[in-house]
Homo-oligomer: A and B are copies of this chain.
Amino acid sequence: LDKGDKKRFRKTYLDMHFYDQSTFYLTLDKDERLSIYTILEPNEMGDMFDTLEDDLPEIPEYLNEMDLSYASKMLNDMYDDNAADILEHLDKVDVDRFLGQLPRADANNLRGLLHYDTETAGGIMTTDYVRFHEFETAKEAIGNLKRFAETAETIYYLYVLDDHDDLVGVMSLRDLIMLDDNATLKDNMNSDIITVNVDAEQAEVAQVFRDYEFLAVPVVDHSNQMVGIVTVDDVIEVIDDESLQDYSGLAGVSVDETVQDNPVKAASKRLPWLITLLLLSMITATLINHYENLLAEASILAVFISTITGTAGNAGTQSLAVAVRRLAVEEINRNEFFKLVGKELLTGFITGVVTGASVLLLVGFWKHNFILGMVIGLAMCAAITVANLAGSLIPMLMSSFGFDPAVASGPFISTLSDLTSVLIYFSIAGMFLQSFVGA
């Protein structure tokens, strides 16, 4: 790259969208990256870094191949929530090295953000928001906005503070634009302010965005002082995260596409659950083993083991999924708890009766043995009812004891339900043994 090329490259690069810049940057090799750092200013680099996924495994390498002062300046020029997300993934030594280069106030600000739990409002908020005083006029506010527009993450909501720096109102830029020049913010702001607490779970924050369709929401601490804002782009990431967690829970595997390309790594992510569940299923095997005499007398019973365990497992998975989704959108108190469990029990029973009746007929006609059909049907009905109950009760209990209900995965419920289904099946079969073997 000679000088003319550099200039042309710079123009072409800067005309691209930040995301397209990042797609391009990620295709470069180390030498090419090193020469890019000489062409672009740290803040221009930071604009692009703002769009990178913070958990990209190469980011520490990128930061360490830059000059220390270049990297620090870049981090400081990024939106502070994104910079904090990146620092979150670095060694403590590196964090200290980068922050050591920054003005003390900026370093402290980033350290403050690092301190919050990543899955709370504090962990996703930025402090780059625009503050105004309640006695400013519309004209003054627009003038001031121009100063902020370069650095703030959003200028579309104005946060209005009083003399004590307390948040007293919010105004959208849309409303501000429509005001007469001399109107004051105080007379026109919205003082019915929806805020989220700095410790609020990120899922709760996402719900506020869904309900109110905000582009940003102010975050307050325990003394109701405003400490930052959460913006809608971060909320989209939160919603993706949360749904990926639920989905992974139901599948019994952490569904993380970046790792799945390597079969050894992929297998190592799936095996812990599989082996755990294998052990649980060995208990089912010992249980069947316990009924070996029954099986020897009526080997026909073996034919329907997988029909009963499979169908009950399917029903349990359905009921689990419904319960987990419900828990994701609402808190459940003790009163509702019992009501919901009762309803799920009834749903399970209805499902069980219909499925049991179907299998009664199928087996009855196939084997010309309606007593056998009744045994299978009864067992199916009971097994489905129990699986449905377990599928909703277990996640609800986990949630009420403060665990994440999504951890009670689909495979766990269906493996557990194998156990209860087998127990139910052989108990019922044992009771009717004489009747259907004789028939």
Contacts and interface: CB of A to CB of B under 8 A. Distances in A.
Nearest to A279: B362
Contact of A275 (B239, B303, B355, B422): B355
Interface string A205-241: 0000111110100000000000000001101110110
Residue of A267, A275, A301, A326 with most partner-chain B CB within 10 A = A267
A235 B145 CA distance: 28
B307 A306 contact: no
A332 interface: no
Interface in A344-393: 344, 346-347, 350-351, 354-355, 358-359, 362, 366, 384
B343 A263 contact: yes
A311 B173 contact: no
B261 A343 contact: yes
A300 interface: yes
Residue of A192, A235, A310 with most partner-chain B CB within 10 A = A310
B155 A177 contact: yes
A277 B354 contact: no
- So how many copies of this chain end up in the complex? 2
Given A247-B325, A302-B302, A309-B309, A351 B274 contact: yes
Given A156-B173, A288-B302, 18 more contacts: A19-B212, A146-B178, A236-B236, A236-B239, A240-B243, A247-B247, A251-B321, A261-B343, A271-B355, A273-B318, A277-B314, A286-B366, A292-B300, A305-B306, A306-B422, A310-B415, A313-B313, A410-B410
Interface of A: 15-20, 51, 142, 145-146, 149-150, 155-156, 173-174, 177-178, 192, 194, 209-213, 215, 232-233, 235-237, 239-240, 243-244, 246-248, 250-253, 255, 257, 260-261, 263-264, 266-267, 270-271, 273-275, 277-278, 281-282, 284-286, 288-289, 292, 295-296, 299-307, 309-311, 313-315, 317-322, 325-326, 329, 343-344, 346-347, 350-351, 354-355, 358-359, 362, 366, 384, 410-411, 414-415, 418, 422
